[in-house]
Structure 1
Amino acid sequence: MALQPSFQRALVIAGKYDAPHTLDVFLDYVCPFSAKIALAIDSVLKPLFAPGGKYDGKVKVIFRNQVQPWHASSTFVHEAGLAVARVAPEEFWKFSLALFAAQRDYFDIPTSTLTPTEIREKLTALVAESVSEDKAAPFKDLVTLKTTPNGGVDVTDDLKYTIKFSRQNGIHVSPTVLWDGLIANEISSSWGEREWTEFLEKKVTA
């Protein structure tokens, strides 16, 4: 699956970009099932696809931002992820894991009394804590509303790209995983090392 060049350093979260096989993983930061599969990616898949791993150079994992608008804060948390991809692309996955770990803070009820500005302030604090304090200011600048009444923020175009990509490929919910461009319905957020190992043994042919 194609990936906008500006995202290659950040959103390819495991493996090498030129690997012949691709896992596209569509995740929402405020989806509990997305959090479960993110942990499996980090603990099971990244070591397998890393230098020296069994599938080094054979498989890559691309993080696909999947905004789910029925969660009121979904837009804000994905803006945050994309802003980190801009200011600290090498820390995108680290921040994503921190955001998944803190996702309950951004659920519907905890954010129901917060303004959009206050939610973005919380996310800026998370960047300072999980990435670095020196990245907090440029991050905050990217997620601050523009001066025009309906102009969005500086990563709005990035957000549009991710949403359009999901829509044109018929992705509706998270997590959704594609193997080499086709939806792999058998993949579950509950998968551990055994299931992923069996899947890869069957699928990796290059």
Structure 2
Amino acid sequence: MTRTEWRADPLAWGQGPRVFEVFLEPTCPFSVKAFNKLDALLEQAGAANITVKIRLQSQPWHMFSGVITRCILAASTLPGGKDSAKAVMKAVGDHRMEFEFENHAVGPNLDATPNDIIARIERYSGLSFIDAFAIPDLDREIKWHCKYARQNGIHVSPTFMIDGLIQPGLSSGDEVSAWVKALVG
């Protein structure tokens, strides 16, 4: 039996000592809002001062959450690694309603299949990750994200942690400067 080696690139940017972890569900409007601020956060706080880590928080009321989470992690195994995963998250966020249900239960996505969702993400991201999506044990990476969130008492997205401590005072509605202040003063 041939075993294929693969590695999911950690979804981390920057190399600073302060660690900002964001728990995001890819189709949650508030998670998308937070995701869209992460590059500005790194720029304003300085990549030498902070490390930003994305933790995926799949949520069952976002009906395609599991499929999309797997797409993101599959993309992280591609040569572009974390930047490929980021491109998938951006593609989903930029076209969020094409991956979501109206009121979490109705609408045209009722007729969509997982293959439809994967094809849409590939089209919008410009990446081909269908083979990576089928990695037999990719679910170990998905389970790691779920377990890590549970161990830290995180149940919804977005949730923010600084240096391992949940920050209930931070939200996706904050200006980036508020996040910078919380991280580096």
TM range (shorter): 0.7 to 0.9
Q: Contact 2:23–2:57 (CA<8 Å) still a contact in 1?
A: yes
Q: Distance in 2 between matches of 1:127 and 1:159?
A: 20
Is the aligned partner of 1:200 residue 2:183?
yes
Which residues of 2 match residues 40-189 of structure 1 at below 5 A? 40-42=37-39, 44-49=40-45, 53=46, 56-87=47-78, 88-89=80-81, 90-108=83-101, 109-128=107-126, 132=127, 136=128, 139-144=129-134, 153-189=136-172
Q: Contact 1:26–1:175 (CA<8 Å) still a contact in 2?
A: yes
Q: Contact 1:25–1:62 (CA<8 Å) still a contact in 2?
A: yes
Which of 3, 12, 35 lines up with 2:32 in the alignment?
35
Secondary structure of 1:177's partner? strand
Secondary structure of 2:20's partner? strand
Q: CA deviation at 1:123?
A: 2.3
- Could you say which residue in structure 2 is the equivalent of 1:26? 23
TM-score of the aligned structures, taking structure 1 as reference length: 0.75
Q: Distance in 2 between matches of 1:118 and 1:197?
A: 39
Superposition RMSD in Å: 2.0
The residue type paired with residue 177 of structure 2 is: R
TM-score of the aligned structures, taking structure 2 as reference length: 0.83
Secondary structure of 2:36's partner? helix
Q: Contact 1:23–1:179 (CA<8 Å) still a contact in 2?
A: yes
Q: Given the superposition, is the C-alpha separation of residues 95 and 121 from structure 1 closer, same or farther in structure 2, using an over 3 Å criterion?
A: closer
Q: Distance in 2 between matches of 1:48 and 1:91?
A: 23
| Residue deviations 1:131-169 (CA, integer Å, cap 9, x gap) | x4xxx1xx111224x8xxxxxx55222111111111222
Q: Distance in 2 between matches of 1:193 and 1:177?
A: 13
Q: How many residues align?
A: 172
Q: Where does the alignment leave 5 or more consecutive residues of structure 1 unmatched? A: 1-5, 147-152
Give the number of the structure whose residues are more often helix, by fraction.
1
- Overall identity of the aligned pairs, in %: 30
Q: Distance in 2 between matches of 1:47 and 1:72?
A: 33
Q: Contact 2:88–2:121 (CA<8 Å) still a contact in 1?
A: no
Q: Contact 1:143–1:154 (CA<8 Å) still a contact in 2?
A: no
Q: Contact 1:15–1:60 (CA<8 Å) still a contact in 2?
A: yes
Q: Distance in 2 between matches of 1:194 and 1:71?
A: 30
The residue type paired with residue 11 of structure 2 is: L
The residue type paired with residue 91 of structure 1 is: S
Secondary structure of 1:63's partner? strand
Q: Distance in 2 between matches of 1:110 and 1:37?
A: 26
- Could you say which residue in structure 2 is the equivalent of 1:149? none
